[in-house]
Amino acid sequence: MNRRSFVKAAAAGYPLALPAAALAAPAVTGTNLTTRIVRLNLQHTWTTTMSSSQYRDTLHVSYARDGITGHGEGAPIVRYHEDAEGARKAVESVRGLLLSSDPMQFAKIMSLVFKQVPGNWAGKAAIDIALMDWVGQKLGIPLYSYFGLDAGDTPLTTFSIGIDTPEITRQKTREAADFPILKVKVGLATDEPTIEAVRSVTDKPLRVDANEGWKSKEEAVQKINWLEKHGVQFIEQPLPAEMIEETRWVRSRVHIPIIADEACGRASDIPKLKDAFDGVNIKLDKSGGLLEAYRMIQTARALGMRTMLGCMVSSSVTVTAAAHLSPLVDYADLDGNLLIANDPFHGVTVEKGKLVLPKGPGLGLTVA
Ligand code: MG
Q: What is the pLDDT of residue 52?
A: 81
The whole-number pLDDT of residue 353 equals 96
Q: How far is the CA of 338 from the centre of ligand 1 (A)?
A: 16
* Residue 90 within a domain: yes
Same domain, 49 and 103: yes
pLDDT at 13: 38
What is the distance in A from the centroid of ligand 1 to the CA of 92?
A: 29
Verify that 214 and 229 share a domain, yes or no. yes
Q: Is residue 19 part of a domain?
A: no
User: In what helix (H) or strand (E) does residue 73 lie, and over which residues does it extend?
Assistant: strand 68-74
Using one digit for the tens of pLDDT, what is the confidence trace for 178-205?
999 999 999 888 899 999 999 999 999 9
Confidence (pLDDT) at 24 = 42
Do 338 and 236 share a structural domain?
yes
Chosen domain end from 112, 140, 168: 140
**Alpha-helix residue ranges (DSSP H) falling in 303-334:** 316-325
pLDDT at 188: 87
| Structural domain count, the chain | 2
The whole-angstrom separation of Cα 315 and Cα 24 is 38
Task: Note the pLDDT of residue 102.
Answer: 98
The ranges of the chain with pLDDT < 50 are 1-27
Return the pLDDT at 49. Answer: 74
Same domain membership, residue 290 and residue 167: yes
334 and 226, same structural domain? yes
Q: What percentage of the chain exceeds 70 in pLDDT?
A: 92
Whether 110 and 161 map to the same domain: the answer is no
Strand partners, 282: 309
Residue 215 CA to ligand 1 center (angstroms) comes to: 16
Asked whether residue 356 is domain-assigned, the answer is yes
Ligand 1 centre to CA of 78 (Å) is: 14
**Residue 189: its pLDDT value, please?**
84
Quick check: is 344 in a domain?
A: yes
Among 75, 108, 140, identify where a domain stops. Answer: 140
Residues 153, 111 share a domain: no
11 in any annotated domain: no
Looking at the fold, whether 83 and 150 belong to one and the same domain comes out as no
- The pLDDT tens digits of the residues spanning 15-70 come to 333 333 334 444 456 899 999 999 999 988 878 777 788 999 999 999 999 999 99
Q: Which domain holds residue 223?
A: 145-367
pTM of the model: 0.90
Ligand 1 centroid vs 69 CA: distance in angstroms?
32
Shared domain for 158 and 263, answered yes or no, is yes
116 CA distance to ligand 1 centroid (A)?
28
Same domain as 181, residue 130: no
Q: Tell me, what CATH number does 116's domain have?
A: 3.30.390.10
Ligand 1 centre to CA of 55 (Å) is 18
Query: What's the 211 CA to ligand 1 centre distance in angstroms?
Result: 5
- Amino acid 140: pLDDT: 98
**Taken in order 122, 127, 128, 129, is the CA torsion positive or negative?**
positive
- 72 and 208 inside one domain: no
| CATH number of the domain bearing residue 302 | 3.20.20.120
Q: Please state, in angstroms and as integers, the Cα–Cα distance from residue 286 to each residue in 129, 173, 224, 305, 337, following that order.
A: 13, 28, 26, 19, 17
Give the end of a domain, one of 105, 124, 140: 140
Whether 103 and 217 map to the same domain: the answer is no
Is residue 245, in this structure, part of any structural domain at all? Answer: yes
CA 25 – ligand 1 centroid, Å: 45
> What is the pLDDT, as a whole number, of residue 29?
61
Element (DSSP H or E) covering residue 6: helix 3-11
User: From the CA of 344, how far away is ligand 1's center (Å)?
Assistant: 25
| Strands of the sheet with 258-260, listed across from one edge | 159-161, 182-185, 206-209, 232-236, 258-260, 279-282, 306-309, 331-332
